[in-house]
Amino acid sequence: MPTNKITIKTQKSMTTDNKHNETAHDHKHEADFPKMSKYEEALSKYQTDIDDNAVREAVRKLIAEKVHENDTPEVKKFLFGSIELTSLKTTDSDESILAFTERVNQFDATYPDLPHVATICVYPCFARTVAESLEIDGVEIACVSGSFPSSQALLEVKIAETALAVKDGATEIDIVMPVGKFLSGDYEGVCDDINELKQACGDAPMKVILETGCLKTASNIKKASILAMYAGADYIKTSTGKLEPAATPEAAYVMCQAIKEYYDETGIQIGFKPAGGLNSVMDALIYYTIVKEVLGEKWLTNKWFRLGTSRLANMLLSELLGEETKFF
């Protein structure tokens, strides 16, 4: 009997040792293949390995074949109504922003047959000035926030600035993705920043500026677009307009592809805003065409498609009126 006991104990020990060895073996394999982070897992659902030359060729073909179809007064009226009239100058003051807002107020009475601009975009310190003086229904008040244009500040500072802008009357917030974190591979830091600022926005829609000129490649632009949407962006936006290159048709094309794929995957519609580098009516028509061809008619409203520019307002107005006009 004692011998049997010893034998049974030995067998159990061997069984335990075998299980331990198997578990250790499994752990070794797991170490060889580390689990993806939730951010890498999110990116893995999309095609992010993109050839830059293929994007350039697709955009060239689209412009050559489709833009001329959209060169109409109706499209130009729509584009005017999608403008975010912007004043982000070092010299801005309460007086200059008040005068800027008054021009928007006067436009309705001066040109009753034309749509008003979609938005007035200013620094957070002028949100209250615009909110107290804007008289036109349907014009949003956007503020750049979160240490625009660099996003280089303590997160607590960026949150406070955003919350105060909303408190003072901002109905939309534009933030900049922390580009340095993205380029260093800190996807968690990127998404945490965006998500924290989204919470500070409350009900106000949030646009995330990717600063595509700093991202260099189509693959980076696609990844940044997906991460921004994953973290809570209501719109994605090309550029701050403070760095070159700013918006490009190629960046817009990749961003719109990302929006479409994200919508197909999640059912969540995200808006698009090119900004910076819109120097002509033809530029606006090109971005309109990209949105129309890649995203479709559902995005062709001034809720989902915006143009970040001020100089374009007078250019479009001049074409619509048939004479040079400098209203803004």
CATH label of the domain that carries residue 300: 3.20.20.70
Residue of 76, 158, 174, 193 with catalytic role = 174
In a domain, 326, yes or no: no
Contacts of 95 (CB under 8 A, 6+ apart): none
Task: Tell me: do 30 and 45 sit in the same domain.
Answer: no
Q: Tell me the mean pLDDT in the region 304-321.
A: 95
In a domain, 327, yes or no: no
Q: Tell me the mean pLDDT in the region 150-167.
A: 98
In a domain, 122, yes or no: yes
In a domain, 170, yes or no: yes
Task: Kindly tell me the burial class for residue 22, based on how many C-beta atoms sit within 10 Å of its own C-beta (0-12, 13-18, 19 or more).
Answer: exposed
Q: What is the pLDDT of residue 36?
A: 85
Pairing mode, strands 83-86 and 119-122: parallel
Q: How far is residue 101's CA from residue 65's CA, in Å, rounded to a whole number?
A: 39
Q: How far is residue 140's CA from residue 170's CA, in Å, rounded to a whole number?
A: 8
Tell me the whole-structure pTM to 2 decimals.
0.88
Q: How far is residue 219's CA from residue 143's CA, in Å, rounded to a whole number?
A: 29
Q: How far is residue 153's CA from residue 288's CA, in Å, rounded to a whole number?
A: 34
Task: Tell me: do 24 and 123 sit in the same domain.
Answer: no
The DSSP 8-state label assigned to residue 151 in this structure reads: T
| Of residues 124 and 5, more confidently modeled | 124
Q: Could you give the C-alpha distances from 28 to 21, 23, 35, in angstroms and in order? A: 10, 9, 13
Q: What is the pLDDT of residue 32?
A: 60
Q: What is the pLDDT of residue 261?
A: 98
Dihedral of alpha carbons 314, 315, 319, 322, sign:
positive
User: Hunting for tokens 């959209």 — which residue is that?
Assistant: 70
Asked whether the predicted pLDDT for residue 10 surpasses 90, the reply is: no
Average of per-residue pLDDT values in the chain:
92
Task: Tell me: do 146 and 207 sit in the same domain.
Answer: yes
Q: Is 174 a catalytic residue?
A: yes
Residue of 222, 237, 283, 292 with catalytic role = 237
Q: Provide, rounded to the nearest whole percent, the portion of the chain with pLDDT above 90.
A: 86
Pairing mode, strands 140-144 and 172-176: parallel
Q: Is 303 a catalytic residue?
A: no
Angle subtended at Cα 127 by Cα 82 and Cα 124, rounded to the nearest 5 degrees? 95
Task: Tell me: do 132 and 206 sit in the same domain.
Answer: yes
Asked whether the predicted pLDDT for residue 5 surpasses 50, the reply is: no
In a domain, 141, yes or no: yes
pLDDT band at 33 (very low <50, low <70, confident <90, very high): low
Residue 142 · residue 119 · CB < 8 Å: yes
Asked whether the predicted pLDDT for residue 159 surpasses 50, the reply is: yes
Q: Detail the DSSP E strand segments found in the chain.
A: 83-86, 119-122, 140-144, 172-176, 206-209, 235-237, 271-273, 307-308
Residue of 198, 222, 223, 273 with catalytic role = 273
Asked whether the predicted pLDDT for residue 97 surpasses 90, the reply is: yes
From 22-31, 233-242, 254-263, the region with the lowest mean pLDDT: 22-31
Q: What is the pLDDT of residue 87?
A: 96
Angle subtended at Cα 246 by Cα 244 and Cα 252, rounded to the nearest 5 degrees? 150
Q: Could you tell me how many residues make up the chain?
A: 328
pLDDT tens readout for residues 107-135: 989 999 999 999 999 999 999 999 999 99
Q: Which of these, 244, 204, 253, 184, lies nearest to 225 by C-alpha position?
A: 253
Asked whether the predicted pLDDT for residue 17 surpasses 60, the reply is: no
Domain with 15 in it: 2-34
Q: Is 222 a catalytic residue?
A: no
Domain count, the chain: 2
